[in-house]
Structure 1
């Protein structure tokens, strides 16, 4: 008996993605994290202890670089929305920006002009501008793959899972690789300069290969016709921000979240070396900043279905704050101080909350893009990602300048590789636990104002699909 088999075609715009496609997209975040996380976690200690810049000078430089980003990001966002390169509207920049990004990442950790602020400014500003040229289109690429909210959740979970592989490779691996190549076995001495260069060379080249893989596995299917985006301009960014309330809320959440992460990440190495007095445990402490992702990121779709996305933010932000309170108590109690296993346990709890909350926030970006398209008829993904980029880099600016200024205030001694004063240790502890906890409380309040639930965004997407053509 003949059996008629019909192929079920996906609803227009609501495309299903294979695991290979999700992994390919996630490879792009893994690649960028090999550079971003290395800069976030270790560039400050490289500048102060190895390259020879004062903490205050480094902090001010981080702020200036972020100010440059505020100007540069909307330019990139408008440019990528307005143009359609032959290799893809968004995916092209994985290669066009990725190749020079690799070079500048390596140069940032070269000590050939030791102590030169001019060289540091040139290389760090160049790195940051090229990172934007990759990251803004990459973020827009996310929204061009599908409108399906379940698929976006799966895609984001896979992306964050792989991003945290990058975080683990950096947090755990970088100190070990630097120590291996360093003649004195230290990561915070002037003798370790060449080891830092070799380490960044390895990580950046691996990242470039991963960007090529991401390029090969992604296909843009939800994008506007060129005639609908040919008039996109930088000023559209501010119009979008003005009329898109969910975008404004998400933007401010980005500021608080990235401030918290940047401050905590940059202070982690100082904390383990000077407060805990366990430099050999630094790789494990940093690794625990990523390990919870492999447990909890695959569970995000189920957790979200069970309790809702807003409640999920509340729960995991609360868990992160609990971990920070534990770090503070351990470090200020004489009976507990120096207990490495308690420190690592607190770091695991803190990181569990941070990873889930800050990982899932990327799934909200396609939602606010769709909301803006619903309101204005323009799907300007590059502009929206540039705007979120401005705010997460504003967070990074705070995260960059605050540690430098706090370390300067507490008279951190960059020439002492083993010990610091009580005042300096207290300042480091504030950077690791107190200031990040305050920022997370603020983030919890901000996200409480977000109004797009899954049913609403699904309705919006279906209404859009009924009136657009690709």
Structure 2
């Protein structure tokens, strides 16, 4: 049977601490996902098509960085555990790199600006991988209780939603305060002054997030302790691949999440443009995210109960319907009917909340499945494969958003035309990215996930069988230990 500690529901401190981790990640991750495309095009002056290609390349690199991080985590064992050292010591570098990424020196030549953006964004992604793989793997080591893991992933979603609301509401509001200044821009000098003021705002915000985010990560490392018994502190590369190649639940989960998250990440980069050019008010970014994330805050406390009633597989299988209905509705919603826009966004938000929450619980369960099949436990590499699929989604989704803007004829501000009027094709492209792309991707994701084999009852069975084998192995090892003469 599973160890008693691993089957206990985690304490309130542990649940709160785990949620604080994703709060910290969203101060870096959601800031980049929501505002980096806007920052690169409208502040740094990098063409949208070049940014789209950069997103594709750098986020593909991030995916391979996840695999490197997964191997590093699986080979680590310290007096603080396998995962907590990466969270403790990686927090400050991660948050500092966010400051550097959002500071492209204005005096650089265009090609040098693009190179700087490549290097800093790639460095941010690599450090993010090291910390995030450890954090994501930690859930499967804290508890093996189905209900306990549901609480952890719900807390994670809650922390992410709070972080997303805070940063987008703050940044969106600050950008809107500069809107009058941008509207008055008529010369190259005035454009440079406006861009300098926006740059100052991003620098001040990211510096504040260094303090807040680092404190959140340190709280996570203090509050969350590893409870699951392991027979081997680390495993070889061959043993890792032996585990992963037989892990069918992980394969189906990664396949479905690839489509789900491609749609969601495409939306992230287009949100600021939707507010600015479709709704004609950049400050509405805060309200848009508040609706999406606010729905998450309302639903998240009920997710453990929903999972107990329906099971993770069923919830994940059909939650994409919210994305389909909300996405199609958003595409057709008239911009002057703000209530309808917000309603469709809320429906989409229900789907996004369930998808983003339940998939992490499913990933933790696939760790047990891999151990059951092979006898080897590889949290880091299992989560790395899952994270690799998410980074691939970031790459594709982020590039789709930028390329759609370019295909629609989006006009970035330039010295010659500081306030360009966007063509109708650019407005349609933004609405396609916000609504139709995530809806279509959700349909494909649900079809892929149909063959996922691991229900909650099946998980409990394999968990108990695995822990029983561990108990026998540990008992046999204890009996064979030599007696040391006194």
Q: TM-score, normalised by structure 2?
A: 0.88
Residue from 350, 353, 361 that aligns with 1:352: 350
The Cα shift of 1:417 comes to 4.7
Q: What residue in structure 1 maps to residue 295 of structure 2?
A: 292
- CA 1:428 to 1:238, structure 2 compared with 1: closer, same or farther past 3 Å? farther
Q: 2:149 aligns with which of 142, 149, 152?
A: 152
1:232 is aligned to 2:229? no
Root-mean-square deviation (CA, aligned residues, Å) is 2.1
SS at match of 1:289: helix
Residue from 250, 255, 277 that aligns with 2:253:
250
How far 1:230 moved relative to its partner? 3.8
2:130 is aligned to: 133
Q: Which runs of 5+ in 2 are unaligned?
A: 184-190, 475-486
Q: Could you say which residue in structure 2 is the equivalent of 1:372? A: 370
| Counterpart in the other structure of 1:447 | 449
Instruction: Please report how far the alpha carbon of residue 379 of structure 1 lies from its aligned counterpart in structure 2 after TM superposition.
Output: 0.8
Change (3 A) 1:231 1:345: closer
Output the CA distance in 2 between the equivalents of 1:373 and 1:231: 12
Deviation of the 1:408 alpha carbon: 1.4
Q: Distance in 2 between matches of 1:407 and 1:237?
A: 41
Q: 2:23 is matched with which residue?
A: 30
User: 1:73 touches 1:389 (CA, 8 Å); kept in 2?
Assistant: yes
Question: Per the alignment, in what secondary structure is the counterpart of residue 278 of structure 1?
Answer: coil
Q: Secondary structure at the match of 1:169?
A: helix
Q: Once the 2 structures are TM-superposed, how far is the Cα of residue 181 of structure 1 from its aligned partner?
A: 7.9
Structure 2 residue 199 is matched with structure 1 residue 193: yes
- CA deviations 1:125-165 (Å, max 9, x no partner) are 00000000100011111111011111111111112111111
When Rg is computed on C-alpha atoms for both structures, the one with the higher figure is 2
Range that drifts further, 50-59 or 10-19: 10-19
Q: Equivalent residues in 2 for 1:241-280 (5 A)? A: 241-280=244-283
C-alpha distance in 2 between matches for 1:276 and 1:10? 55
Are residues 371 and 452 of structure 1, via their aligned partners in 2, closer, same or farther at CA, if it must alter by over 3 Å?
same
Counterpart selection for 1:438 from 437, 440, 457: 440
Q: Given the alignment, which residue of 391, 397, 402 partners 1:393? A: 391
Relative to structure 1, the CA distance from residue 231 to residue 215 in structure 2 (aligned partners, 3 Å threshold; closer, same or farther) is closer
Separation in 2 of the partners of 1:157 and 1:418? Answer: 43
Q: Is the 8 A contact 2:327 2:348 kept in 1?
A: yes
1:238 positional shift: 4.3
Distance 1:180 1:222 in 2: 50
Greater CA deviation, 9-18 or 114-123?
9-18
Looking at structure 1, the residues matched to 363 and 329 of structure 2 have their Cα atoms a distance apart, in angstroms, of 32
Matched residue, 1:203? 209
Q: Which of the numbers 101, 117, 122 marks the counterpart of 1:120?
A: 117
Instruction: Give the SS at the match of 2:409.
Output: coil
Q: Judging changes above 3 Å, is the alpha-carbon distance between structure 1 residues 89 and 396 closer, same or farther for their aligned structure 2 residues?
A: same
Partners of 1:32 and 1:207 within 8 A in 2: yes
**How many residues are paired up?**
453
Distance in structure 1 (CA, Å) of the matches to 2:173 and 2:209? 13
How many angstroms apart in 1 are the aligned matches of 2:201 and 2:47?
Answer: 21
Alignment-derived partner of residue 324 in structure 1: 327
- What is the correspondence of 1:388-467 to structure 2 with a 5 Å cutoff? 388-415=386-413, 417=419, 419-467=421-469
In the alignment, the residues of structure 2 paired with residue 440 and residue 17 of structure 1 have an alpha-carbon distance, to the nearest angstrom, of 32
2:37 to 33, 40, 44: 44
Decide whether aligned partners of structure 1 residues 183 and 238 sit closer, same or farther in structure 2, where only a CA change above 3 A counts: farther
User: Is the 2:411–2:420 contact (alpha carbons within 8 Å) kept by the matching residues of 1?
Assistant: no
Give deviations 1:290-332, integer Å, cap 9, x for gaps.
10111111111222233333332344311221111111111xx
Give the C-alpha shift of residue 280 in structure 1: 3.0
- C-alpha spacing 1:450/1:211, structure 2 compared with 1 (3 Å): same
1:204, distance to aligned residue in structure 2 (A): 3.1
Alpha-carbon distance, 1:170 to partner: 2.2
Kindly provide the CA deviation profile for residues 34-59 of structure 1, in whole angstroms up to 9, marking residues without a partner as x. 11111111100100110111111111
With over 3 angstroms needed to count, the CA separation of the structure-2 counterparts of 1:393 and 1:194, relative to structure 1, is same
Secondary structure of the structure 2 residue equivalent to 1:85: coil
TM-score w.r.t. structure 1 length?
A: 0.91
Q: Say if 2:52 and 2:403, in contact at 8 Å, map to a contact too.
A: yes
Q: Which residue of 2 aligns with 1:219?
A: 225
1:83 to 76, 79, 92: 76
1:30, distance to aligned residue in structure 2 (A): 0.8
Alignment partner of 2:123: what SS? Answer: helix
Q: 1:66 to 1:238 in 2, by over 3 A?
A: farther
Is the 1:260–1:439 contact (alpha carbons within 8 Å) kept by the matching residues of 2? yes
Deviation of the 1:180 alpha carbon: 5.4
Residue in structure 1 matched with residue 484 of structure 2 by the alignment:
none
Q: Look up the SS of the partner of 2:371 in the other structure.
A: helix
SS of residue matched to 1:344: helix
Distance change >3 Å, CA 92–CA 182, structure 1 → 2: farther
Deviations 1:71-117 (A, max 9, x none): 32222111111121333210111122211111111101113255511
CA displacement at 1:240 relative to structure 2 = 3.4
Q: Distance in 2 between matches of 1:151 and 1:280?
A: 38
CA pair 167-181 structure 1, distance change in 2 beyond 3 A: same
Greater CA drift, 337-346 or 204-213:
337-346
Contact 1:31 1:210 in 2 (8 A): yes
